[in-house]
């Protein structure tokens, strides 16, 4: 090999080495991206929002392998309290924020309704609003009084701190102390299991959760409220009278990992976002109504 050839070979090797960064490591392998998300997010609160947030969290984790999303239930009141105390990064609330909660930041990710459920073998097909009130106040205590079989009514109520309870009471103009409950439950799944296991029970839960359970063969049925069928479709078209937002809550304007997760869940932080294309299929699979609809 001539001197000229040696010089040319060395020059090429140095150029290649420079390009590969230390001979053999391509630029992307040698550089750690500063944009990679990492860390842990803790979400607590509404049992209605929790299954949806959990599925969104799994997808967020799959796209950001160094992130972990921990979702815990306990009711909307817990979500609010934990965010205020700094115990949770994001609270889950199955309603809009109240006037006294305006110090917090709320971001809706979907809509849902609250429906009255019976066992599917119960022959009662509908109840007037006043009949529901009378049942929960103990003034009607036998299904025969509303066209059903001669059997005592088992009233299932939600525990304090659940926004489903608050909205149910508000719509039917009831006070919790007036309710004559035989069973007090926490989350929607517990309410559904209670009614599915008792042919004489009546309860109320998330329409989305109830519809999903029915699609899985759970023996319950949804009754109309205010004469309107309790369906996701009627929540979507605005005709169902007992509906609410499913909301993520933060103590301050979200930034960093909080912001990225909320944007992933709802498309943007804007006041009127479109449903996030990243999770719209998850929202529909959970039988909730995407924001854009």
Q: How do residues 157-190 score in pLDDT, each as one tens digit?
A: 999 989 999 999 999 999 999 999 999 998 899 9
- Do the domains spanning 38-110+247-285 and 113-236 agree at the CATH topology level? yes
CA-atom Rg of the chain in angstroms: 26
Is the whole-model pTM more than 0.85?
A: no
pLDDT reading at 27 higher than 80? no
Calculate the average pLDDT of the chain: 87
Domain 38-110+247-285 bears CATH identifier 3.40.50.620: no
- Domain range annotation of the chain: 1-31, 38-110+247-285, 113-236
Q: At the topology level of CATH, where does 113-236 sit? A: D-Maltodextrin-Binding Protein; domain 2 (3.40.190)
Q: How do residues 101-146 score in pLDDT, each as one tens digit?
A: 999 999 999 999 999 999 999 999 999 999 999 999 999 999 999 9
Using 50, 70 and 90 to split pLDDT, how confident is the model at 234?
very high
pLDDT at 139: 98
């Amino acid at each position: 090999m001539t001197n000229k050839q040696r010089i040319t070979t060395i020059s090429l090797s140095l150029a290649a080495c420079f390009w590969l960064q230390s001979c053999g490591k391509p630029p992307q392998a040698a550089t750690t991206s500063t944009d990679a998300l990492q860390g842990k997010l803790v979400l607590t609160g509404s049992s209605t929002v929790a299954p949806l947030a959990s599925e969104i969290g799994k997808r967020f984790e799959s796209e950001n392998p160094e992130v972990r999303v921990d979702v815990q239930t306990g009711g909307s009141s817990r979500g609010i309290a934990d965010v205020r105390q700094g115990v949770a990064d994001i609270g889950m609330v199955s309603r809009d924020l109240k006037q006294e909660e305006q110090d917090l930041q709320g971001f809706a990710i979907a809509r849902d309704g609250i429906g009255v459920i019976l066992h599917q073998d119960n022959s009662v097909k509908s109840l007037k609003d006043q009949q529901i009130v009378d049942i929960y106040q103990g003034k009607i205590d036998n299904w025969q009084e509303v066209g059903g079989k001669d059997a005592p009514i088992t009233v299932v109520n939600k525990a304090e701190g659940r926004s489903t309870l608050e909205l149910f009471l508000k719509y039917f103009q009831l006070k919790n102390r007036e309710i004559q409950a035989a069973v007090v439950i926490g989350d929607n799944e517990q309410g559904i299991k209670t009614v599915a296991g008792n042919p004489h029970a009546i309860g109320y839960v998330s329409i989305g959760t109830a519809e999903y359970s029915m699609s899985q063969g759970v023996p319950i049925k949804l009754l109309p409220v205010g004469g309107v069928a309790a369906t996701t479709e009627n929540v979507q078209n605005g005709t169902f009278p007992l509906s609410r937002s499913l909301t993520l809550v933060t103590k301050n304007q979200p930034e960093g990992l909080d912001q990225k997760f909320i944007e992933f869940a709802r498309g943007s932080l804007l006041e009127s976002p479109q449903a996030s294309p990243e999770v719209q299929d998850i929202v529909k699979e959970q039988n909730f109504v995407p924001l854009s609809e």
